[in-house]
Amino acid sequence: MANEARDTFVVGLRNAHAMEVQARELMERQSERLDDYPEVKAKVTMHLQETNEQLKRLEQCLQACGESTSSLKDTAQSVMANMMAMAHSVADDEILKNTFANNAFENFEIAAYKSLLTLCDPAGAPEAKPLLEASLKEEQRMASWIDSNVEKVTMEYLTHQRQAA
């Protein structure tokens, strides 16, 4: 069982790394277009910094297991993120679509970190727990912020629409 748990843990770490690469790409593209929403831009920029730290933590976990990231998964996720950002950028309600997508994505990340934390002990990697817990807490804070700001962002969007009319 330890070998299966370790294998699952390593795959999960690689998947999480690719997931965070996707998140980084999405936030980089989004932040370029958030000048009308300074509070959202500031939060996305801050979370982008956290995401870069999360990538480093995941790399530390993989190195501790004697493993490396998956270039193929990272590249595929990066391409997907850029395609998503491009698709949303042509929409009049880009900020709303990004808010909805970010809300879903943060919860996806939370679930991934919870799964990895569950695997730490069976995989023989208890030293990874503090690193993964730090990332989980960051994702939970961001998800909570997005969730509590959906209405505000929606109303700001409506205000911008009225001003443009």
Q: Where along the chain do its domains lie?
A: 2-164
pLDDT digits (tens, 9 = 90+) for 69-87: 755 454 555 555 445 555 5
Q: Work out the average pLDDT over 44-63.
A: 96
d(CA 163, CA 115): 45
Distances (CA, A) of 52 to 19, 24, 130: 12, 7, 17
Ranges of H-type helices in the chain:
2-31, 38-64, 71-89, 94-120, 129-164
pLDDT at residue number 29: 85
Average pLDDT for 97-123: 95
Alpha-carbon distance values, 121 to 95, 108, 116, 124 (Å): 40, 22, 10, 5
**Topology (CATH) of 2-164:** Ferritin (1.20.1260)
Q: What is the per-residue pLDDT across 1-51, written as a single tens digit (0 to 9) for each?
A: 568 999 999 999 999 998 999 899 889 988 888 999 999 999 999 999 999
Task: Report the residue count for the chain.
Answer: 165
> In whole angstroms, how far apart are CA 99 and each of 2, 45, 63, 78, 157?
40, 14, 34, 19, 11
The confidence band for 92, taking pLDDT boundaries of 50, 70 and 90, is confident
Which of 104, 84, 85, 94 minimizes the C-alpha distance to 35? 94
